[in-house]
Amino acid sequence: EAFERNCRAVELAPDHVPDINVITGVLKDYLRELPEPLFTRCLFQMTVDALGVCLPDDPEGNAKLMLSILDCLPRANRATLVFLLDHLSLVVSASERNKMSAQALATVIGPPLMLHSANSPNGSEVDHAQPIAVLKYLLQIWPQPQTANISGNVTSN
């Protein structure tokens, strides 16, 4: 609710929110409550299909294919996704300390990021493996633009 009222006024410093799980929970809730997920149905399916045709001897081509699919997202979705993937990439880069590998983050964030609340039209069980696999792959290929030093300042690599 505070984010909806004035997102710039929300204080997320460790002394105000000492448990990082609270922030992660808010992000997951926010993603779940979006009227449409950041990934459109069609583009989500395209990313799943792209993973299925990845060639083991062409990692660069595979990455280009996946990133070209992301370029087809609506502008606001793409901008939000880039921001989120930049942040998640930084989290993964500190996995030795925070224990959040690409797999762990994909498991937590992938389904609410990519699945529509009405994904199973006939009440059947929703397959969470696909969004987890897509997000894990994206985190593995995502360029890491910046890193944060201990004081919290952001520096370029």
Q: At 59, which CATH number?
A: 1.10.555.10
Token pair recorded at residue 28: 């997951």
The domain total for the chain is 1
What backbone torsions phi and psi does residue 40 show, to the nearest 5 degrees?
A: -65, 160
Dihedral in degrees, nearest 10, Cα atoms 92, 59, 108, 157: 20
* Residue 94 resides in a domain: yes
Q: What is residue 156's DSSP assignment?
A: E
Predicted local confidence at residue 72, as pLDDT: 94
The stretches in the chain having pLDDT less than 70 are: 117-126, 145-157
Query: Tens digit of pLDDT for each residue in 14-31?
Result: 787 778 788 888 888 888
Residue 61 lies in a domain: yes
As a whole number of angstroms, the distance between CA 105 and CA 139 comes to: 9
Q: Find how far residue 60's CA is from the centre of its chain.
A: 21
Cβ-in-10-Å burial (0-12, 13-18, 19+) of 152 comes to: exposed
| 122, part of any domain | yes
pLDDT at 77: 93
Q: What per-residue confidence (pLDDT) applies to 150?
A: 36
Does a structural domain hold residue 92? yes
Residue 137, domain member (yes or no)? yes
Query: 115 is in which domain, residue-wise?
Result: 34-144
Residue 132 falls within a domain, yes or no? yes
Domain-embedded: residue 157 = no
The predicted pLDDT at position 146 comes to 55
At 154 the pLDDT is: 41
In a domain? residue 155:
no
What pTM value is reported for the model? 0.81
Distance CA 23, CA 81 (A): 18
- What pLDDT is attached to residue 4? 78
The per-residue pLDDT for 105 is 94
